[in-house]
Amino acid sequence: MRIAEPTGSRRSSVPLWLTVAAAVGSVVLLGAALVFGWLGPDVGRGAEFCEAARDALIKQPANTFSNLGFVIAGIAAAWHVSRRGPGAMSVGLATAYAIVVVMLGPGSAAMHASQSVLGGHLDLYSMYLLSSFVFAYAVTRLLGLAAPGFVGIFVGSLVVCTIAEFVTVQVPVILTAGNAVFGAMLLLGLLIELWLRARGSHRLEMRWGLASVITLLVAFAIWNTGMDGGPLCDPHSLLQLHAVWHVLDAGAAWFLFRYYASMSP
């Protein structure tokens, strides 16, 4: 697998089928985990995101089902790779990105559906997969590394995120050290993308990058206003601001893919 390959590279339905298989498999596995209690007891994990817990299999329905947006965005990215190609991005990396986006859905849903400790970890690790990908892909292109370099940076980033996950420090606004590292990696990845564009080695459609960043900023503002006890929090409403955050983040992930896929020499 190369980090980049020529525009117009051979197209295949394999990326789409792999991503659909990952989506179906992870959703089915999540359903089984909820039915059989594999995620553990409800400890109120994620209760700070406003929605009142129901006495049902799905504790927070709005915050849970809104995560389907990530599954749809990931499959849409894979469809684009299979039908239109990934631009100068390699097919392997484009497919991996699509699967990472898909995994955000069941990962986040595991927490909101069960409110369990394990569900909370799955939620965060699905986020870490995305931030590690964005950071590793940017650094790899900046340094002109091959696929092993990407894998090394990606794995190293996940290790850093794992350490941060178990650091019990309260961080203003973003709550935890894990969230801070997640946000920092995304920000660094996006800043490197700006540097790469300024360097001019590839052409990229900036509109997709701007759409992703603007959507993320709006989503972050909604994330903060939708907290438990906030002025716009209605615990029993079917429309939850945290659910809107999920949908907007899925849109931002799609826009970022389109930015990657627009790359050409």
3-state secondary structure of 264: strand
Q: Which helix (H) or strand (E) holds 127?
A: helix 117-143
Residues annotated in a binding site = 112, 242, 246
| CA 147 to each of CA 3, 90, 153: distance values in angstroms, whole numbers, following the listed order | 6, 10, 10
**Cβ-based burial of 27 (10 A; exposed 0-12, middle 13-18, buried ≥19):** middle
Task: Count other Cβ atoms within 10 Å, centred on residue 139.
Answer: 18
First to last CA, the chain: 18
Task: Count other Cβ atoms within 10 Å, centred on residue 260.
Answer: 23
What is the C-alpha separation between 168 and 183, in angstroms, rounded? 17
Residues annotated in a binding site for Zn(2+) = 112, 242, 246
10-11-12 Cα angle (round to 5): 125
